[in-house]
Structure formats: C-alpha cells, structure tokens
Amino acid sequence: MAGEQFPGAYLSKLRAHSPRLLPLAISPPMLDNRPDLFALFPSTQHKTTMSTKALHNITVLDMTEAMAGPYAGMMLGDLGADVIKIERPGVGDMSRGWGPPFIHGESAYFLSVNRNKRSLTLNLKHPEAQSVFHRLVQTADILLINQPRLASLQKLGADYDTLSALNPRLIYCSITGYGMTGPYAGRSGYDVIAQGESGTMALTGGPDDPPTRFPSPISDITAGMYTAMSALAALVGRQHTGKGQFIDTALLDSQLAWLPNIAGSTFATGKRPPKLGNNHPTITPYEPFEAADKSFIIGVGSERLWARFCEVLAINDTIGSDPRFRTNTDRLQHRTELHAQLQAIFSTQPAAHWLALFRPLGIPSGSINHVDEILNDPHIRARGMVVEMQHPSAGDFRALGNPMHLSHTPVSYRLPPPTLGQHTDEILQGFGYTADQIAVLRTDQAV
C-alpha cells in the first residue's frame, strides 16, 4: 500500500464519528481497485452508535493536573470513556493558568489535553465533598490520580485501600514522579526532573552542548501513555478476575524506558554512552544534511539501501568504491569523512531534488520541518491528526488528533475541553442528587 491514501470509506467513517475533523486534502480514494481493503475497513453506512466506541461503558474519574494524567484521561476519552475531570473549586487544574498563549482567556496548554471530559468541582477537604466523591467511586471503572504522598491521599479519602474497599473492581492509576515504592517514593517530580535524572538530557544535543531538555514534556506524555495502556490491560484482566488493581506509573520509569538500546549497549560494554548529537550510534549515513535551501534527513539502514543510495547519486565509482565506506562498520569508523563528502554533494541542490530521487527507490528520507509546516502538511491532515473543536469560551480552536486508527471502534472527538465546573450539576444529578441538595453543597463550598 506504499504511496496510497487510506480508503475513502474509512475516511468517511472517521468523519462520521468526528464531524469536526478538518477537511482533508486527498486524492480520489483507491478503494475501487483494492477489494482487499473492504475487509480491513468495511463501509459503514449505519449510524454511529455507542457500541462503536471501544470504552463506551467505562467511567473514568480524572483527578490529575498538568500533562501526564490529563493526557491519559484524554486518550481514554477519545476511545469513548466517560471521563469526569474532578477539579478544585475556583482554581481547577493548574494548567488552566499556564500561558501565554491563551485563546480568549483559555490556556492553549489546557485545551491541548483535556477534550472528551466533563468537569466536576469538588473540595475534597470538605466531608460532604468526600461523600460525593465516594459515591462516584462506587460505580467508576478507572481512577487517575497524581498525588505522591500517601498521608495526603488518606486525608482526602482518596487512597487505594479506602477506594478499593468501596469498589473492588476499581482500577486505581497512580501517576507520580518516582512511583509509590523505592527510596525516592514521595518526592515531588516534574517532567524536566525526570528528563534530567533519566540520562536522556545528558545524551541530547551536540557533543559540545550542555545537557538539553526535549522541548515537549516527553516524560509526562510517555507516563500518560503507559498509564492508559496499563488501565486497558487492567480492564481485560478484570474480565478474568472480577477485580480491579493498583497501577503505579512513575515519570522517571517512563522516561528511562526511552533508552532500551542505549541501556543495552551500556550493560554490554560497561561504558558511558557518548553524546552523538544527530549521529546514530550504530548506523551511518543516518542523519540530517544541509541541501541548498533547507535541511533534510536520510536513513540508510542496510547494505541494500546503501547500494541503491550510491547508484542513484552516481557515486559508485567514488564514495561507493572507497574501502573506507564499503560496509556499515567501515562507514562508522570513518563517519566524519563520509559526512563531509556527502554534504558537498547535497549542498548543490534543494532538498526536494534529493527527496525526489530517494523516495521512489524506498530510501527513507524526509524534510526537516518546522512545527507550523507539519501541522499544515496534507498527509497529516489526511490522517486526521489536526482536529477543530468549538469551545464555549475559546470558540473554534485546533488541536492534535489521536494517532490511534481503529477500523471498527475509531476514536472520536465528542466534547471540547470543559470550562471549570461546567458539568457539576449535570454529573451530580446523574448520580441522584436533587437540585436542592446541589444548592446545599454549593452553599457549604463542597462543590
């Protein structure tokens, strides 16, 4: 299917589930000539129903703030779960105040990771609010929480022992900097600390650069993904055991998990890995180059690709026959010389020229884009990776879509990120509270 677009029926299905999906700039669908694709992505002329959402009957209580927990909650919400975001009255998730940029007073950061959620305000320091919370817990499937100190959780009535006694089927997901076990348990942790302590900052950047932070909160996002995966595994496990369980996700563990090959090399050699910048530790050429107009990147990851690479560049009689570059092992030993010779070639033409040579031959290569360029790329739009939603305060705004593409239970974008406490009355009424009871809770500052 290389070079083909997703079949039109599947794209139509995506739009049916996500009506705010941005218009797609694509060529005519290839489905008519590919009957095998009907089996993979059957035409869906039926109306969207709750059963087409993988987690349609799952309730998630999201008590987290910032990025890691909210990201996990958003992933579960995109898959169809009813995610109730529990926030502090008058304050809410701390990321509501993170900016600029703001869109009509709403934090772009908060908007980016809180769709498909309903907001309920609860002051868990108040006994009546704890009673409300415990009523919600009794029928919930998953709880997301990012408080690292057990004593604080016990004070709020939100520790695992208390909640699992109320609901033995509850899947309790703790997300903290260091986890709930080990000598660092209880320490406060942020993404940048995990990046530093995991070894990744020491490896990022050029050889002469200081330790460099990855620009997005990668340990937060990774912890959110592992939490969501763990929760889904626990849901399957619950089908066999009838019981929930405790999930202990740490930012530091999650960030360290980015280093399997580098850790493997360190275990094997006992040596500290060098800081290689854009160079791959075991493959070359596998790096960026400067064309006449912009940077691009290539990945010549096998001897077969190296032969094609030399042929299309017409360098078989020069670089291709040089004994210093005959095998990948040879090329690694003479990486600097090889890069210089290739760079002299690539600087003579624009990036598009080289990419047009490499791509038809299956030589992995691509532009090095700026963020605004990739967000407007037609392939990214065709993949549904940019979505537009309408917010009650911010109006129309755009955000990244979900990269999970499921043919029968696709993700959906049903609710924009909530305003603070937007659904408090609706949620409480759904759990049996009357208007008078809700009014009392407000008067008592419990909600």
Instruction: Confirm whether 239 is domain-assigned.
Output: yes
pTM over 0.95: no
* Token pair in block for residue 267: 């275990």
For strands 59-62 and 142-145, give the pairing.
Answer: parallel
Nearest to 424 by CA among 90, 101, 150: 90
Beta strands in 70-197 (DSSP E): 82-87, 102-103, 106-107, 117-121, 142-145, 171-176
* Token pair in block for residue 102: 């703001």
Q: Which structural domain, as residue segments, surrounds residue 97?
A: 50-258+417-443
CATH code for the domain in which residue 231 is found: 3.40.50.10540
Asked if 122 and 133 touch (Cβ cutoff 8 Å), the reply is yes
pLDDT of amino acid 52: 82
pLDDT of amino acid 34: 35
Domain total in the chain:
1
pLDDT of amino acid 51: 56
84 φ/ψ angles, rounded to the nearest 5 degrees: -100, 110
Instruction: Confirm whether 195 is domain-assigned.
Output: yes
Asked if 203 and 191 touch (Cβ cutoff 8 Å), the reply is no
Instruction: Confirm whether 188 is domain-assigned.
Output: yes
Instruction: Confirm whether 118 is domain-assigned.
Output: yes
Which residue numbers are catalytic? 220
Instruction: Confirm whether 431 is domain-assigned.
Output: yes
Helices and strands (DSSP H and E) totals, the chain: 20, 13
pLDDT of amino acid 27: 32
Q: In this structure, what DSSP letter does residue 156 have?
A: T
Instruction: Identify the burial level of 405 via C-beta atoms within 10 angstroms of its C-beta, where 0-12 means exposed, 13-18 middle and 19 or more buried.
Output: middle
Instruction: Confirm whether 230 is domain-assigned.
Output: yes
Per-residue confidence in pLDDT tens, the chain, 447 aa: 333 333 444 444 444 444 444 443 333 333 333 333 323 333 222 233 445 899 999 999 999 999 999 999 999 999 999 999 999 999 999 999 999 999 999 999 999 999 999 999 999 999 999 999 999 999 999 999 999 888 999 999 999 999 999 999 999 999 999 999 999 998 989 999 999 999 999 999 988 999 999 999 999 999 999 999 999 999 999 999 999 999 999 999 999 999 999 999 999 999 999 898 999 988 999 999 999 999 999 999 999 999 999 999 999 999 999 999 999 999 999 999 999 999 999 999 999 999 999 999 999 999 999 999 999 999 999 999 999 999 999 999 999 999 999 999 999 999 999 999 999 999 999 999 999 999 999 999 999
Instruction: Confirm whether 264 is domain-assigned.
Output: no
pLDDT of amino acid 310: 98
pLDDT of amino acid 148: 87
Instruction: Confirm whether 329 is domain-assigned.
Output: no
